[in-house]
Every structure is written in C-alpha cells, then in structure tokens.
Amino acid sequence: MADIRVLIVEDDPFIAMDIESAVAEQLGGEAELIVVESVAAARRAAADKLSCALLDIDVVGGKTFEVASTLLQIGIPFAFVSGSAPQEVPTPLRAAHFLRKPFSTHEVATFVVNAIGKPPVEAAV
C-alpha cells in the first residue's frame, strides 16, 4: 500500500478522470488514488488509512456529508469539489475547503499537495 492515499468521490467519470489526472501529475507514482462514485463506496474507503479526500457532494446514493463528518472526526483533510452552493453544506462542515465546479485542475492539485504537506513532483527533483 502506498504511503499517500487520496480518496476521490465523484460520480461523473469525466470529472473523476480530470481530478485523478491532476492529482497524479502532482504526486507522480507515489500515491494511490482511490476513485469511487457512491456514498457506500466512499464510506468503505474512508474506513481505511487516507492522506486526504476530494468529495463531490451529490453522488450515487446521496450526499457525502456523513463521509465528510467521519473524515473531520478522524482528522483527514478533505475538500468538497462540487457544483452545489457552499451554503448547502451543513454548518459543522462549512470550514472545509470548497472547490466550486467548474474547478481548475491546478486548484485541485494545490489542495492535495498542501493537505498532505508534500512538495509537488517538479519541486522535489
């Protein structure tokens, strides 16, 4: 298992590929990217060791707020990556980082690099 594990919860396969590509480009082959499309799969993935997570709000099976609450409780950094309005996020989760769709892949990569405290691949050379 990789030392860096990033959970990506996104039900649109094209957006998931964009996020996955942006993160992989910054972290190289050092990271394991766990891409899931449902709340149930996100719950299972959140039960394992994670470095950080990127959560769409509305995915297969509902909203990811319960997963976000779990991550918050166990101290895993996460960001919502969503077309929903930030004020739709429950009050206890509003301090979370929020990347509004359409997002830039640079924003996503920057969040992940900052969340895990690792310099991007280019800077590590």
Domain containing residue 101: CATH number: 3.40.50.2300
Domain extent at residue 37? 4-124
**Mean pLDDT value across residues 79-91:** 95
Q: What are phi and psi of 34, to 5 degrees?
A: -105, 110
Across 25-29, 31-35, 56-60, least confident range: 25-29
Report d(CA 47, CA 92) in Å as an integer. Answer: 21
The total of structural domains in the chain comes to 1
pTM (whole model) above 0.95: no
Q: What percent of the chain has pLDDT over 70?
A: 92
Which string of DSSP letters, residue by residue, matches 6-57?
EEEE-SSHHHHHHHHHHHHHHHGGGEEEEEE-BHHHHHHHHTS--SEEEE-S
Residue 119 has pLDDT above 80, yes or no: no
**Mean pLDDT value across residues 93-105:** 94
**Mean pLDDT value across residues 97-120:** 89
Task: Give how far the C-alpha of residue 102 lies from the chain's centroid of Cα atoms, to the nearest Å.
Answer: 15
Question: Residue 7 is encoded by which pair of tokens?
Answer: 């959970």
pLDDT of residue 1: 52
